[in-house]
Amino acid sequence: MKRYHLTTFGCQMNEHDSERMKGMLESLGYGEAAERSEADLILFNTCSIRETADSRFIAHLGEAKRLKGENPERVIGVGGCWAQSLKDEVFERFPFVDVAFGPGQVHKLAEFLTSDSLTAQGYFEFEGFTGHLPARRERPFQGWLQISVGCNCACSYCIVPSTRGREVSRRLQELVGEVETMAAEGVREVTLLGQNVNSYGRDLRERASFAELLRLLDGIEGIDRIRYTSPHPKDMREDVIRAHAELESVCEHIHLPLQSGSSRILKAMRRTYDRARYMDRVALIREHVPDAALSTDIIVGFPGETEADFAETLEVVAEVGYDSAFTFIFSPRRGTEAAEITEGVVPHPVKVERMERLVELVQRGARERAQRFVGRTVEVLVEGASRTDPERQRGRTRHNKVVNFAGLAQPGEMADVEIMKATSQTLLGEERLLARAVS
């Protein structure tokens, strides 16, 4: 049996594509190799969102080159956003690569592997969502659903519109059918994926809205939890926010990327909302779902960001009260508008110093927010053993908080867990066998 080894970088979309790649490879008769050195087919699913993503991947590619040198029969494949952003240049710069393909082009990898071609091949067309491949899920009770591909936004820092193309939504009934199948296979929690999930359906001939999709999926028997990532604040309408309050399976967690708290910088980023509009969305969320957990993405050191702009970001963070936040140092990306800005470039030490202040504030806020769970009994979907203490179980609350707890519940089961302690990142608790979950 031929064996493959796949390394995944980047976001959940890539993780989902990798699941589909694994499913596809296994249907072609490949088995998974534990080590790269044992594989006939070495694959990478790449990301290009920041420079650090590129450089981490290049280090791995070096090992693949050495292994190919040892055995030229090995096939090296590179998929995903980094491959797409370089296209055919991949083969000039890395001649040992046999096949390169853009995000979502899992079926093209299959085509390459089943053809007799001995020459290097690149597949970089934007085709919308391709293929109904069996996904090999990492956990049988959690599934991903890609609701759209591509992105019509023009955020000036972001490489994604150029790596994933224009937005194409998948048809409503097709998505409902896919989730029904997932439910029949034992999936209890589904995460909807898209670059801008809440603009879903606007490009379809039979118009559909994201809120409508949520309502239909909520009606599917067996699906206990629905999550999604990422919405865009500009498209965050009241119907979607109300869905969190009204639909039982839609979780009380919203990831609402802020990027900056300064309206001036938001404009330069081409985010198409300002600070006031963002805060208005937050107020609407708090009104309908008072206890919702909010998380966000923030970039520090965008060109032109002054200390006063950054102070506004800190103000917004303090005002919103995020349960968690991903923070990034601005990284110029090839082909993006922001990479061309030469004025007001923020020196690296200043970026780092701002980042430190931001992280400190985010962690303090998250720690304080997490205290509201102490003493509550919450519903936890068990994912496996705790990473730090194998005696304990680990799972997630509807608010997307990681909980380590002592109890008997097994992976895939819901447990009622009383929370004893909360840090900025995790909750600690004990399973209550006779309790009724309150949140």
Whose Cβ is closer to ligand 5AD: residue 129's or residue 328's?
328
- Out of 77, 80, 165, 257, the only residue in the binding site for ligand 5AD (CB under 6 A) is 257
| Least distance CB 166 / ligand 5AD (angstroms) | 18
Nearest Cα neighbor of 174 from 135, 141, 129, 136 is 129
> Do residues 207 and 201 lie in contact, with contact meaning Cβ atoms separated by under 8 Å?
yes
CA distance 419 to 439: 12
- Out of 44, 157, 200, 322, the only residue in the binding site for ligand 5AD (CB under 6 A) is 157
Which residue sits closest to ligand 5AD, CB atoms considered? 297
CA distance 320 to 293: 10
In the three-class reduction of DSSP (H, G, I as helix; E, B as strand; rest coil), residue 46 is classed as strand
| Least distance CB 17 / ligand SF4 (angstroms) | 9
| Cβ neighbours for 64, distance < 8 A, ≥ 6 positions apart | 36, 42, 44, 76, 96
- Out of 8, 18, 48, 230, the only residue in the binding site for ligand SF4 (CB under 6 A) is 48
Whose Cβ is closer to ligand 5AD: residue 74's or residue 354's?
354
| Cβ neighbours for 300, distance < 8 A, ≥ 6 positions apart | 310, 313, 327, 328, 329, 330, 351, 354, 355, 358
Q: Which two three-digit tokens encode residue 274?
A: 């300002």
Q: By CB under 6 A, what part of segment 241-270 binds ligand SF4?
A: none
Binding mask 8-27 for ligand SF4 (x = CB under 6 A): --xx-xx-------------
Burial 117-140, CB ≥16 within 10 A → b, else e: eeebbbbbebeebeeebebbbebe
> Do residues 112 and 122 lie in contact, with contact meaning Cβ atoms separated by under 8 Å?
no
> Do residues 213 and 175 lie in contact, with contact meaning Cβ atoms separated by under 8 Å?
yes
Nearest Cα neighbor of 43 from 70, 68, 11 is 68
What does DSSP assign to residue 425? S
- Out of 40, 185, 297, 353, the only residue in the binding site for ligand 5AD (CB under 6 A) is 297
Told to check if 271 binds ligand 5AD by CB under 6 A, we report no
Q: Where does residue 380 fall: left (phi above 0), alpha (psi -120 to 50 degrees), or beta otherwise?
A: beta
Told to check if 50 binds ligand 5AD by CB under 6 A, we report yes
Whose Cβ is closer to ligand 5AD: residue 259's or residue 377's?
259
Whose Cβ is closer to ligand SF4: residue 336's or residue 386's?
336
Told to check if 6 binds ligand SF4 by CB under 6 A, we report no
Q: By CB under 6 A, what part of segment 310-339 binds ligand 5AD?
A: 328, 330-331, 333
| Least distance CB 262 / ligand 5AD (angstroms) | 15
Whose Cβ is closer to ligand SF4: residue 8's or residue 121's?
8
Told to check if 193 binds ligand 5AD by CB under 6 A, we report no
Binding site for ligand SF4 (CB under 6 A): 10-11, 13-14, 47-49, 80-81, 159-160, 163-164
Binding site for ligand 5AD (CB under 6 A): 49-50, 157-158, 257, 259, 297, 299, 328, 330-331, 333
